[in-house]
Structure 1
Amino acid sequence: MAAERLATVGSKHAVRGVTREMGLELAPLGIRVLGVAPSYVPTEGSMIAAAAAAELCGDVPPTDPMRLSPIGRAGVPDDTARVVLFCASDLSTLMTGSTLLADGGVTA
């Protein structure tokens, strides 16, 4: 399990690093690069994946995302969409190379 965790953490940091570097390299061309890092959002697909993971791990129940979130609720797809909309709007024109957390404070 530790190797899986290392791979997950490594890949997440790699994406953040690539986002930062692309933001710096493309800024002179007027191209902004922003990343969005959402937390677990219970959708049909993520629920299927959680059930499959529980089956592989010996029917260990998935962690309740509402219990983990400091704001007291799980995210919904619209929460992530609103952050993406902000990134695509003129409200974020001074930003590039950043990754915005849309996680209800889980990683704060």
Structure 2
Amino acid sequence: MNALGNKTCIITGGAGSLGLAAAKLFLAEGARVMLVDLNPDTLADAKAELGGGGNVDTCSADVSSETDVQRYVEATCTRFGNIDVLFSNAGNFGTVAPIEDYPTGIFDAVYAVHVRGAFLAAKHAVPHMNDGGSIVITSSVAGTRGDPGVYAYITAKHAQTGLMRCLAKELAPRRIRVNTIHPGPIDNAFQLSVEEGLAKEIGRDGTEFFNEIIPLGRHGSPDEIARSVLYLASDQSSFTTGAMLMVDGGMSA
């Protein structure tokens, strides 16, 4: 298959389970991929898992740092040429706490990665994007709901949708599509850490709690979410922009 043949793609949060699953699919579809993540060691492991090769490179960066964002965009263009796909996927969770106890520093840190990170990625990548490209931002089912105590993560995920809608309108004349993807709980280490924290708050197993409120009765896999990212990244979604793609097992229905 060749859905992304000779396309240059940036994936932030590229060493995590979803970023890595997307990278595998993108490469299989003919793309050139720049993986961006905070930790150079996990990036090296991710590159090794992908088999190395000339179509994948890495750049360690703090996505909330404008200097770092400029650096990974420049590194991508130098290595592979102008950008066709920006998958803004980096994320962190924060904590769960009553509003009066919620740490302001944690709120700021989560907002910086999800919202400032996605904003800076677009700000610096768009001038180097080919017309007809695609921007995909990883939001969450949390970006469609509110839950007690999840102040930073849920607020940030809602804000990403607003950013997406502004970008979709502005970039439509260049045929650059901009969409958010909204996974439900995924079977990965990130979600497990969320569920372990939640268990302390609700006094029961967090994984079981989520499975009970997901109509399909289970967590999604990184590969399942990545297939939906590929749809938004490729020309298969050529008439889709400004959209929220729910990949949540029916949780938001």
Q: TM-score range by the shorter chain?
A: 0.7 to 0.9
Partner of 1:94: 239
Greater relative contact order (Cα 8 A, min sep 6): structure 1 or 2? 1
- Determine which structure has the larger helix proportion and give its number: 1
Tell whether 2:176 aligns with 1:17: no
Letter in 2 for 1:61: D
Picking from 14, 21, 37, the partner of 2:182 is 37
- Counterpart in the other structure of 1:62: 206
- Secondary structure at the aligned position of 1:34 is classed as strand
Please state whether the residue corresponding to 2:150 is helix, strand or coil: helix
Alpha carbons of 1:49 and 1:15: their partners in 2 closer, same or farther (altered >3 Å)?
same
Structure-2 separation of matches of 1:102 and 1:78: 12
Q: Is the 8 A contact 1:70 1:104 kept in 2?
A: yes
Measure the CA separation in 2 of the matches of 1:104 and 1:45: 18
Checking the alignment, whether the CA contact within 8 Å between 1:19 and 1:99 is kept in structure 2 is no
State the TM-score, normalized to the length of structure 1: 0.81
What's the CA shift for 1:58?
A: 8.2
Equivalent pair of 1:39/1:103 in contact (CA under 8 Å): yes
Gaps of 5+ in 1: none
1:46 aligns to 2:191 (yes or no): yes
In structure 2, runs of 5+ residues without a counterpart are: 1-96, 100-148
Aligned partners of 1:17 and 1:26: how far apart in 2?
Answer: 14
Q: Percent identity?
A: 35
Matching of residue 83 in structure 1 with residue 228 in structure 2: yes
TM-align CA RMSD: 2.2
Q: Which has the larger radius of gyration?
A: 2
Give the total of aligned pairs. Answer: 107
Give the TM-score, by structure 2 length: 0.38
Structure 1 position 18, deviation (Å)? 0.6
Q: Counterparts of 1:58 and 1:25 in 2: how far apart (Å)?
A: 43
Change (3 A) 1:60 1:69: closer
Q: Structure 1's 21 and 79: CA in aligned 2 closer, same or farther, altered over 3 A?
A: same
More strand by share: 2
